[in-house]
A = this chain, B = another copy of it.
Amino acid sequence: MTKWAGAGKVAALNINSMAISTFKATTTLQPGLVVRAKSRQFEVTLDEPPELGGTDTGMNPVEMILCALGACQAIVARVYAPQFNLNLEEFAMELEGDLDVDGFLGKSEVRCGFSEVRYNIRIKCDAPEEKVREFVDFISKRCPVGDTVGNAVPLALNKVIVQP
């Protein structure tokens, strides 16, 4: 077992049931289409490429969704690999999502968001392929972002504060 797999095992064992946790973030529009987003002490800049009207100083929000999805599956894989006796040497994903910009532009009735997200997984480990496929199936069902994107989440606008 590598140090990595060991780290995953420790992680899994250390997580206690906390019932419902609330995660938070704040976002602030900057000049143009630039947005500064923060969660706890971490900050990230989002923008749009020039062909979508931005100045290309960061990935755009839908690209960030793909990053979060791939990262979440990787973390779930790391945490659960020891339970599958998998020596997870590498775990990498390629993700892509289709989005019809006409929805955003109001030019058609298509949805504004992703119509489909596809991904490939590359795993390096010494387990039989069948066992790895069983593992991949398991992590896709346990992935918080996978569930968040794959199933509807109620979005509630709580308060609008208008300042003159």
Contacts and interface: CB of A to CB of B under 8 A. Distances in A.
Interface in A1-42: 3-4, 7-8, 10-12, 14-15, 17-29, 31-33, 35, 37-40, 42
Given A67-B64, A161-B123, A112 B40 contact: no
Residue among A10, A72, A96 with max Cβ neighbours from chain B (10 Å): A72
Chain A binding site: helix, strand, loop or mixed by DSSP? Answer: mixed
Interface in A61-117: 61-79, 88, 90-107, 111-117
Interface residues of A, number: 125
Interface of A: 3-4, 7-8, 10-12, 14-15, 17-29, 31-33, 35, 37-40, 42, 44, 46, 48-49, 51-54, 58-79, 88, 90-107, 111-126, 129, 132-133, 136, 140-164
